[in-house]
Amino acid sequence: MTDQTSEILSSVRTQFVQKVSEPVLNQLLDFLLQQDVINQGEMESARAETRADRARAVIDMVRGKGTEASSVLIDRLCQLDRHLSRTLNLM
């Protein structure tokens, strides 16, 4: 991924929030925690939200952590939901 990964996430944020499914979102959260991209407190905070709010929280948390974290999210999303990844032009 390039240095613009955070900007890529920013540009697809609205569509991601609208279209990401509950199961994919939960899998992303689990993976991000496992990879130490987010911590337990961030995970618990995001889990307490509605699906759309959780999607916003995930993308915003990861964007704030920089290029490497953004790349991890994009790569995992591409693995979990190829259709959404294509819709968002991430593949």
Span 18-42, pLDDT tens digits? 999 999 999 999 999 999 999 999 9
What per-residue confidence (pLDDT) applies to 77?
97
Going along the chain from its start, the domains and CATH numbers come out as 3-88 (1.10.533.10)
The pTM of this model reads 0.90
The band of 48, judged by pLDDT with boundaries at 50, 70 and 90, is: confident
Can you spell out the DSSP letters for 43-66? HHHHHTS-HHHHHHHHHHHHHHT-
